[in-house]
Amino acid sequence: MINFKSAFEFLRKEKGISFISVMAIFVSFVLLGFMLSFLVFSNTALNFLQKQVQVRVFFKDIFSEEQILNLKSQLESDPRIMEVGYTSKEQALLIFKEFSKNDPVLQESLSTNILPASLEIRTRDVKDLDQIYEEFSNKEEVESVKYLKDIKDRFSYVSLIVTIVSLAITTVFFVVSFGIILSTIRINIYSKKEEIEIIKLVGGSNDFVTRPFIEQGLIYSMTGSLLSGVVLTVILSSVFFLNVLGIRDLGSVVLFSNYKIPYFIFVIILVVIVNVLGYLLGSVGSRTAVKNYLKI
Amino acid sequence: MIQQDSIIIFENVFKSYKGEEVLENIDFQIKRGEFVFLIGPSGAGKSTIIKLLNREESPSSGKIFIDGTELGTVPVDQMHKIRRKIGVIFQDFRVIKSKNVFENVSISLEVVGTSNDVIQEVVPNILSMVGLQHKIYKNPAELSGGEVQRLVIARALAHEPDIIIADEPTGMIDPRATSEIMNLLTEINKMGTTVLMATHDHNIVNHFKKRVLKIQDGKLISDRKGGSYHD
């Protein structure tokens, strides 16, 4: 029979301690929620960036359009290649004109001879881009090869650092929350030492004696995690509706390597994770406290 | 020889603290439904016998049986099953100061898993029986010595145990309250509950003429039916 009466009685009498415990757990879970959101958002961004990464090969004018199109056909039959796009000198000029439409002086000085024709090569696996880059870098007919690998690598590096730092901060808060649950239950056990002894003498089983303390830990952690679930839902919904980071335009986020889910399903999963962890923290914390401090 | 209808059996029980013998070769049996006085001067070993029965203490040697179960074979985490068969009226009361009269009595029903509806019905009835119905929501600190004693009796009776063990239940109350409590214990005994009452009040023992176990210097020196304090 679950009876939270005794646990709630302690919460009512020890408002200060209870408030601090719930707040520490609340902060830990909000941080955890932010960290998990950051991981998913950065994974989504990385996934997007990887799709944008390409090798763009610019050709010298001596290499004719026919030769470039032949090369394009050859590349398209290469199993490593996913897509090859061709931009002629004329198309390159149009694009550049569009970019510089606010600068008439620059536009007047442009002619088709200035801009080179190019091929945009995307591979099925991003790792193959390095090899493609090397293959074209040393060819005589190639003027230059552009490869935005650095941007992708730098983003991965920064996101890894931020993940490690947030993981460390969240771990510290979890350890603190665990410690707070332990100490609060210990205080409660010591303050009820005489009562525990009497309950045992009138026939209280070990389970009857320990249950209120375990429930107390569960109430703290579940209250903290439920509150953090509410706050995370509000913040993540705001992120969506205000279209922060273009989330609303994307409409979905990428979990793991390539697994896409709708944004609000991610929010629900996050809130469920936070609450399950809340239950586990309360359960493990209070059971540890009872095991260590309640000698029965 | 062990008798089949014995609910309490002490079999050659010894108890010593730090090498000092406080009980020596205690050997007796109490039948189901009996009313037995345990008498002797202060420090004779009466309270130790009660603590051994409730397994607050363990014997140094010998065996104690409650309703056929040898206490030495019961694991610590199963001891509550034995304690639920016993209602103890402690000499030092042992009430929970942070709980009111109702809650102090209901705890002995809660531990056996009684539903809240039944608790709400049983507790006021028991408190009426001991004359505490008008103090139901008072804290123990607001009660007189006699009222606390009656509260402890109500707690011991609430879950209808097979055995009532009373350690000096009249030691701190006036003669009128003493008479009420003795009448109550006699009534409970008539309903079939076994009562073992430790006392050094010779008036009570002489008046009720029940079986008397006399302890002196840790030894059982006499066991008489219908006996008096000075037999």
Q: Does B96 contact A195 at a Cβ distance shorter than 8 Å?
A: yes
> Which of A202, A291, A295 is the best mutation test for B, with the most CBs of B within 10 A?
A202
Cβ neighbours of B86 in A, within 8 Å: 203
Cα A7 off chain centre by? 36
Q: Quick count: other Cβ atoms within 10 Å of Cβ A228?
A: 25
- Of the candidates A216, A152, A246, A287, the one whose C-alpha atom is nearest the C-alpha of residue A17 is A216
**Is pLDDT of A1 > 60?**
no
Domain count, chain A: 2
A174 and A262 belong to one structural domain: yes
Task: Return mean pLDDT, chain B.
Answer: 91
A183 and A69 belong to one structural domain: no
Three-state DSSP class for residue A44: helix
A192 and A246 belong to one structural domain: yes
Cβ neighbours of A198 in B, within 8 Å: 94-96, 107
Q: Which domain holds residue B138?
A: 97-159
pLDDT band at residue A5 using 50, 70 and 90 as cut-offs:
low
A181 and A43 belong to one structural domain: yes
- The answer to whether residues A144 and A118 touch, using CB atoms and an 8 Å cutoff, is no
Q: What is the CA radius of gyration of chain B?
A: 17
A141 and A256 belong to one structural domain: no
Task: Return mean pLDDT, chain A.
Answer: 85
pLDDT tens per residue, range A238-294: 999 888 878 888 788 887 666 889 999 999 999 999 999 999 999 999 999 999 888
Q: Is the dihedral of CA B18, B21, B25, B30 positive or negative?
A: negative
Q: Please identify, among A117, A147, A177, the residue that sits at the C-terminal boundary of a domain.
A: A147
User: Which two three-digit tokens encode residue A244?
Assistant: 């922060």
Q: Quick count: other Cβ atoms within 10 Å of Cβ B183?
A: 10
User: Which two three-digit tokens encode residue A262?
Assistant: 């709708």
A190 and A284 belong to one structural domain: yes
Among the residue ranges A14-23, A41-50, B116-125, B184-193, the one predicted with the least confidence is A41-50
User: Which two three-digit tokens encode residue B213?
Assistant: 């176990």
Q: Please identify, among A123, A147, A171, the residue that sits at the C-terminal boundary of a domain.
A: A147
Can you give the pTM of this predicted structure?
0.70
Is the ipTM reported for this complex over the cut 0.85? yes
Identify residues of B whose CB sits under 8 angstroms from chain A CBs.
54, 56, 76-77, 80-81, 83-84, 86, 88, 90, 94-99, 107-108, 110-113, 155, 159
Q: Which domain holds residue A77?
A: 54-147
A40 and A59 belong to one structural domain: no
Q: Please identify, among A147, A181, A216, the residue that sits at the C-terminal boundary of a domain.
A: A147
pLDDT tens per residue, range A10-22: 677 778 888 888 8
Cβ neighbours of A202 in B, within 8 Å: 83, 88, 107-108, 111, 155
CATH value at residue A85: 3.30.70.3040
